Amino acid sequence: MRHRKAGRHLNRNAAHRRSLFRNLSRALITHERIVTTVPKAKELRPFIERIITLAKKANAVLSDAAGKGEAEEKKARIQALHYRRRAMALLGPTHGTGIWDKEGRSTGDTVLKKLFREIGPRYADRPGGYTRILKQHYRRLGDAGETAVIELLKAGEKKVRATDKRPSQPVAVAPAKPPEEPAPEKPAGS
């Protein structure tokens, strides 16, 4: 029985799973869209959303304390630093995780800087659900694993949910009205 054993093992031990999620998270923050297997994407979602929530909280703390006085701003910077260190602990060592542009030049930012400067403020008004998983129709070569794209939502974008094809309650359909016959035209001479 698997009572109180949530999550997929993914045929890895705990340390290997943690490394996998750290690597996938860094890639997702860097590229904002990655292709992986469906079970990995489903397990990555809560891991990355927890990290993004920390960045969002740090941004909220700093923006709330702006202009309230030096003591409040210092307290807010300390709290934001705490959130940043918690995110660093979840992401693991970020040395060598630079962000590169499309031409192959380094932007000078790391994954952590991008997370707290761009991604956290992007979701300031969103109460969760920062990622989308799109299943792909083709399978991975080699082991035929189901693949999926996991991506970060854009600013202001909403998730689209599939609607049910059948109604939950029976709907009474009114009988169709017969088509109306046009009125007869009067002759021009009368």
**pLDDT tens sequence for the chain (190 residues):** 989 888 999 999 999 999 999 999 999 999 999 999 999 999 999 999 999 999 999 999 999 998 899 999 999 999 999 999 999 999 998 877 788 888 888 888 899 999 999 999 999 999 999 999 999 998 999 999 999 999 999 988 887 776 666 656 666 666 667 777 777 777 766 5
Q: What CATH homologous superfamily does 14-152 map to?
A: Ribosomal protein L17 (3.90.1030.10)
Element housing 113 (H / E): helix 111-114
- Helix, strand or coil, per DSSP, at residue 107: strand
Q: Where are the domains of the chain?
A: 14-152
**Global confidence as pTM:** 0.80
**d(Cα 121, Cα 74) in Å, to the nearest integer?**
20
**d(Cα 151, Cα 29) in Å, to the nearest integer?**
9
